[in-house]
Amino acid sequence: MSDAETMTETAPETAPRAETAALSLRAIERQYVQGDSTLEILRGVNFDVFPGQSVALMAPSGTGKSTLLHVAGLLEHPDSGEVFVRGTATAELPDQERTRIRRTQIGFVYQFHHLLPEFSALENVMMPQMIRGLGKGEAAKRAGELLGYLGLGERLTHRPSELSGGEQQRVAIARAVANAPAVLLADEPTGNLDPKTSDHVFETLTQLVRASGFAAVVATHNMDLAARMDRRVTLRDGQVVELD
């Protein structure tokens, strides 16, 4: 039985408008209480991202970009509303099932690569596959193919400290997509890189989106990079708004 079939049996509810969406947010509300005040971060967010589509999330700091990514990535529960991953409703699922969907259907890339320093590039990319249950040999084969596609075929045995910043981030991207997720969520993935390296990493990421067909949401302040993505959105008054 496939992962999709398993998820459908577990949570058969689907979103009428999200049957073909990789990620769909419906009426998402998220608030934080600070002392006597309540901060309304997300106010009825509706947002769809489709397979093979790259979306740049552009908004000033403090407007809720990270909160949106955390809710979309099932790292946080919304106060109300629903998050659909490949049409499967997730808000009311038990934590164990949310964790399984997050592990198999969602990839994350952060501003800092968060690679395991004691393991090689190949081993870092093998890790999520083996946690999912893939055998060591098959995980190594797929990890090697991914890293080769990202231009790191000669760096497989190098540890993170032996790699440049751009190489480390490409390993992080390979690790994030190793389990063939439906959605990739990236929070300022090139924020720590110089412009030339940033451009190279970004081009690698967009090529991978087109080749693999997953959906990507990338929070970035880089206007030039955002202009090369399929869509650009921002957060305005707690809602996702298309920029063009």
Q: What is the CATH number of the domain that holds 123?
A: 3.40.50.300
* Domain-located, residue 49: yes
| pLDDT number for residue 203 | 82
| pLDDT number for residue 207 | 80
Low-confidence ranges of the chain (pLDDT < 50): 1-19
Q: pLDDT per residue over 139-158, tens digit each?
A: 999 999 989 988 889 999 99
What 8-state DSSP symbol labels residue 75? S
Quickly count: other Cβ atoms within 10 Å of residue 120's Cβ. Answer: 20
Q: Which residues contact 88 (CB under 8 A, 6 or more apart)?
A: 7, 8, 10, 11, 13, 14, 101
205 within 8 A of 218, measured Cβ to Cβ: yes
Quickly count: other Cβ atoms within 10 Å of residue 190's Cβ. Answer: 25
Coil, helix or strand for 191?
coil
- The CA distance from 222 to 58, in Å, is 8
* Boundaries of domain holding 86: 23-242
* Domain-located, residue 3: no
60 within 8 A of 38, measured Cβ to Cβ: no
**Number of domains the chain is built from:** 1
* Domain-located, residue 11: no
Residue 58 region by backbone torsions, left for phi larger than 0, else alpha for psi between -120 and 50, else beta: beta
* Domain-located, residue 210: yes
Quickly count: other Cβ atoms within 10 Å of residue 32's Cβ. Answer: 12
Q: pLDDT per residue over 36-79, tens digit each?
A: 888 889 999 999 999 999 999 998 887 888 899 999 999 999 99
* Domain-located, residue 33: yes
Burial class of residue 141 in the structure, from the number of CB atoms within 10 Å of its CB (0-12 exposed, 13-18 middle, 19+ buried)? middle
Q: Which residue type is seen at 87? A: G
* Domain-located, residue 18: no
For the record, the structure tokens of 91 come out as 């808000």
- The CA distance from 172 to 121, in Å, is 9
- The CA distance from 90 to 75, in Å, is 11
* Domain-located, residue 17: no
* Domain-located, residue 1: no
| pLDDT number for residue 150 | 84
